[in-house]
Amino acid sequence: MATLTGQVYSYSNTVPQKRTLTDRIILASPYDVTTILRLGTDNASKFALINWPNRVYEWLQDAYPARSDAAAATNITNSTTTTTIAVTTGAKFQVGDVVQLDDEFVWVSSISSNTLTVVRGFGGTTQATHESTATAYIRFTARIEGADSSSSPSEEVVSVTNCTQIFHKEILMSRNAQDIPQYGMSDPWAYKQDKAMDELMEELDRVPFYGQRAVGSASAARATGGFRTFITTNVTDLNSVALTRAAIDTQLDNCFAQGGRPNVIFSGSYAKRKMGSFYEGFVKTERSEKVGGILIDRLQHPILNYEIELIVDRNCASTDLWGIDDRYAGYVEYQPFMFEPLAKTGDADKGQVIGEYGMVVAREKSHFRIQEISLTA
C-alpha cells in the first residue's frame, strides 16, 4: 500500500472516489426510419392481397395501350405525298386511328406489320415533310360509317412477384450480466431487446433503397425487392453532374404522362438542400427575420394541383433521389417484429427479435429515380 505524505490532492488517489456519470445511456442513433413512418408497414389490405400472408406474393397490373410510337420516318423526310409510314411497333395502331406527326394529322387506312398506309393532311391539315426522329401520336379513332370491325391493340394483365424477408437478431446474456446493477439500464435484458428492435427497424427502412428480390431456397435466404428492383423506366442517370429542377420536372412529367402522380420524394441530405436552393427567392415565409436560411419540405407540382412531400432519410444513398406515388408503394407485414425467448444454454439466457416483411412497388411507371447526383456541384 502506498504511503502519502504532505497535502492530499484529488488527483492523488482516485480509487475510492465515487464516479459521477449519467444514469442513462446516451445513444446517438443514426436509425431514423422516416421511410417506414411515411409508407407504413402493414399495407396488405391497401393492395388487396388475398390468401395473405404468404412468403411469395403477387400483384396484378394492367395498362392502357400506348398512345405514341417512334416513326421510322425515312420515307416522309423528303415527301409531302407519300402514303406509307414506317413505325417501330405497328401493333400499337389500328385502322381508323388519327395520328399526329408534328402539325400534320394523318388517317390510318390499313396496316401491314410495321407499315401504316395513311391519308395525308387529314382534317384539312397541311401535308409536310417530317424528321426521321418524329413521334407518331395516336390521338383518337375515327371510323367510317358502316365499316367492318377490325382488331384493336390491347394490353394483357401481368403478374409481378415479390418475396417476404426474415429480419433477425439474436441476444445472448449471461445470468451474472443480467444480475449486476448497471448504470443507465434498470433491466439489461430488456435494454438489449429494445436496442435489437431499433436496429432491425433501421434494416427494414433500408429495404426500399437497396432491397434486391431473391426467391430463396432451403439453403439460401430469400429477400424482398425494393424501389431499385422494380423502378426501371423513369430513371435519369446524371453521371455525376448537378441535380437540377429541370431533371425533377422532367421525371414528374414522365410519370404524369403515364398515369402516375408522385407525391413524396425520398433523398439524402445533400439532394434535399439542393432542392431547397431551387426555390430561393420564391419562398413565402412568416418566420422571424432573425432566423437565417430557408426550410422547404414540400414542392408544388408544376402540372397538377397538389404538393409533393420531401423526406430526408439517412439510409437513402446520397447520390439517389426517388419520386414515389404512394398509392402504389408500401411495406406488407407477414410477421411484426417480436421478441421470442429461446432454449437456455448453460448459464445464459438466449432470445431473438424476429420479423418478416415485404414490399409492393406496383405500376413502376408511376415512380421515378434520379441517380448518380454530384455531391459537389
Sorted by sequence, the CB contacts under 8 Å of residue 156 that are 6+ apart come out as: 62
The per-residue pLDDT for range 232-290, each reduced to its tens digit, is 999 999 999 999 999 999 999 999 988 899 999 999 999 999 998 887 766 655 656 66
Q: How far is 229 from 213, CA to CA, in rounded Å?
A: 7
pLDDT value of position 201: 92
* 184, 86 contact by CB (below 8 A): no
Kind and range of the H or E run holding 334: strand 329-345
Give yes or no for residue 28 having a pLDDT over 60: no
State residue 82 phi and psi, 5-degree precision.
-55, 145
Q: How far is 283 from 274, CA to CA, in rounded Å?
A: 15
The per-residue pLDDT for range 64-95, each reduced to its tens digit, is 887 888 776 555 666 778 888 888 888 999 99
Q: What is the mean pLDDT of the chain?
A: 86
Q: What is the CATH number of domain 34-60+160-283+294-373?
A: 3.90.1690
In which band, very low, low, confident or very high, does the pLDDT at 148 lie, cut at 50, 70 and 90? confident
292 vs 348, higher pLDDT = 348
Give yes or no for residue 2 having a pLDDT over 60: yes
pLDDT value of position 86: 87
Q: For the chain, how big is the Rg over CA atoms in Å?
A: 31
The per-residue pLDDT for range 194-203, each reduced to its tens digit, is 899 989 999 9
Its pTM surpasses 0.85: no
